[in-house]
Every structure is written in C-alpha cells, then in structure tokens.
C-alpha cells in the first residue's frame, strides 16, 4: 500500500479499512507504533499535534485512536474530552507519567486503556487488538432494546434516550449502563464492573467506577442524590433497579 502526505506533518497509509489514528509528537515513536500496527494488517494515520489529530479524526473516522497526552497545540486530555462529546471510538492513551491521578483522569474522560512510556510496541498492539475484539464482540452479541420506564437503551443503534430525548454518553458510560441494565436487580462489585472494560488484568483503581457512576447519574437521574435507576450497595458496588421498582 502506498503512503501519501495529505498535509505537512501528517502521514497516511491508505486502505479500504478505517485506519488507526496515532497521535504522537515524537516522530520515531509514532513511526514505530505505525510499523507494528501495519504488520498486523491495520492501516494507520499519524498526526503530530492535537489540532491535526482533531482534523484527521473528522477526515478519516478512525476505528481506533492511540493518543499521547503531552501534545503541541491541544493536549490529549482535551482531545479525549472533545471526542467523547460525539464519538465512542476506542482510545488508548500514552503518557510518560505513572501517577495514579493521570490514570484516573484518562479513564474518567472516557479512554479505554492507558499505557505508560516507555512501552513495548508488541504489548501496545495486543492491547489495541484486545479492545477492538471486545468492541466487535459486544456489538455482535447485542440483544434487543433494553428499557426501564422512560429510560431506553438501543444496542443496535448504540443510543440511549430518556423521556424520548437523546442522552449523550461517553463510551465507558454507555458500557457501564449497558452492563447494569442487562441484569436488573443484580448487585455488581466495582471490580466486576471494571472487568467489563479491562479483561487483561490491567491495574485500575476501583474508584474510577465511582467517577463514571456519578457522571452517568447526572445524565439519567432526575435527582442524582436520590437515584431511581442506579442504586448504591454500600461497601460493595452498584445495581440497576429491578423490574418491580418501575
């Protein structure tokens, strides 16, 4: 396949498939990640700053985004925040810092995974493949429409409505609500809910779930302090209201 420069500082590898967007200002790192992904059959798009990343996302509608945190013009946090307003594309964030607060921030903004530099390119590619596998399997196995009163989740359309009004959720918020609504009345521990997002044994603090639950309640509950749909089970986790609680 032929490589074409569409703009200064942006590399594109053409393909009929949607590409993986690599957002990394270090050109050697970007080229290394692209090489390993291309060996696995993925096409790639590379952007070297945050503004280019946003433009390339609109232009190419990528199937996956590998996103560095520290970028010129627009940083990775802000890119993730903007993308989650309209897209549930899987995002793996790269950072040179191992601080827990960075991990929590990335996940709370809707990132699907988090890798600390320096990293193994092979491991990164395996994480990309695992996330894409989970995403595709989830879409393939999606059941009929789920509903509880005026709250409706349509897996086929990947859409949530409340009182017939569209509710905009991040990718992780949607997955969390989907997991809870599929098993009304069942109590999920925080670790069980984390397992819906991370199946490879990654170390992720369980309070990330509390952050997502809080944001989800703000969007679907009339009174988040006295939730109708998502109930807290103190000292353990959360459950979605049972059918007899409608």
Q: What are phi and psi of 96, to 5 degrees?
A: -85, -5
Q: Which residue has the higher pLDDT, 203 or 148?
A: 148
pLDDT for position 177: 93
Determine which of 39-48, 100-109, 111-120, 231-240 has the lowest per-residue pLDDT on average.
Answer: 100-109
- Judged against a pLDDT cut of 70, whether residue 228 lies above it is answered with yes
pLDDT bin (cut points 50, 70, 90) of residue 191 is: confident
| Residue 140: closest CA among 160, 120, 117, 156 | 156
pLDDT for position 1: 38
- Judged against a pLDDT cut of 80, whether residue 138 lies above it is answered with no
Average pLDDT estimate for 36-52 = 95
- Residue 58: CB atoms within 10 A of its CB come to 10
Q: What are phi and psi of 48, to 5 degrees?
A: -105, 0
- Judged against a pLDDT cut of 90, whether residue 105 lies above it is answered with no
pLDDT for position 109: 80
Alpha-carbon Rg for the chain in angstroms: 19
pLDDT for position 231: 96
- The overall average pLDDT reported for the chain is 83
For the chain, what are the domain ranges? Answer: 3-139, 142-245
pLDDT for position 246: 63
175-190 confidence digits (pLDDT tens):
899 989 988 888 888 8
pLDDT for position 4: 35
Fold of 142-245: Arc Repressor Mutant, subunit A (1.10.10)
pLDDT for position 242: 87
Shared fold status for 3-139 and 142-245: no
pTM of model > 0.85: no
Q: How far apart are CA 65 and CA 93, in angstroms?
A: 8
Fold of 3-139: Rossmann fold (3.40.50)
Contact 239, 190 (CB under 8 A): no
Give the chain's count of helices (H) and strands (E): 8, 14
Q: Which residue has the higher pLDDT, 183 or 202?
A: 183
């Amino acid at each position: 396949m032929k490589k074409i420069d569409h703009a200064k500082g942006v590399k594109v590898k053409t393909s009929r498939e949607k590409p993986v967007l690599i957002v990394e200002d270090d050109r050697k790192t970007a080229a290394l990640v692209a090489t390993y992904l291309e060996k696995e059959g993925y096409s790639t798009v590379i952007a070297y700053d945050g503004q280019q990343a946003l433009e390339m996302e609109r232009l190419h509608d990528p199937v996956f985004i590998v996103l560095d945190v520290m970028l010129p013009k627009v940083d990775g946090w802000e890119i993730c925040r903007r993308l989650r307003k309209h897209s549930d594309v899987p995002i793996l964030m790269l950072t040179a810092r191992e601080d827990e607060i960075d991990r929590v921030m990335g996940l709370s903004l809707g990132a699907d995974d988090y890798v600390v530099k320096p990293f193994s390119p092979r491991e990164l590619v395996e994480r990309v493949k695992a996330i894409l596998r989970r995403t595709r399997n989830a879409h393939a196995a999606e059941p009929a429409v789920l509903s509880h009163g005026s709250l409706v989740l349509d897996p086929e359309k990947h859409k949530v409505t409340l009182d017939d009004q569209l509710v905009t959720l991040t990718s992780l918020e949607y997955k969390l609500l989907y997991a809870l609504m599929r098993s009304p009345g069942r109590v999920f521990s925080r670790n069980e809910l984390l397992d819906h997002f991370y199946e490879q044994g990654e170390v992720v603090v369980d309070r990330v779930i509390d952050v997502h639950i809080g944001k989800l309640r703000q969007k679907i509950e009339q009174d988040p302090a006295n939730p109708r749909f998502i109930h807290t089970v103190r000292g353990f986790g959360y459950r979605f209201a049972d059918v007899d609680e409608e």
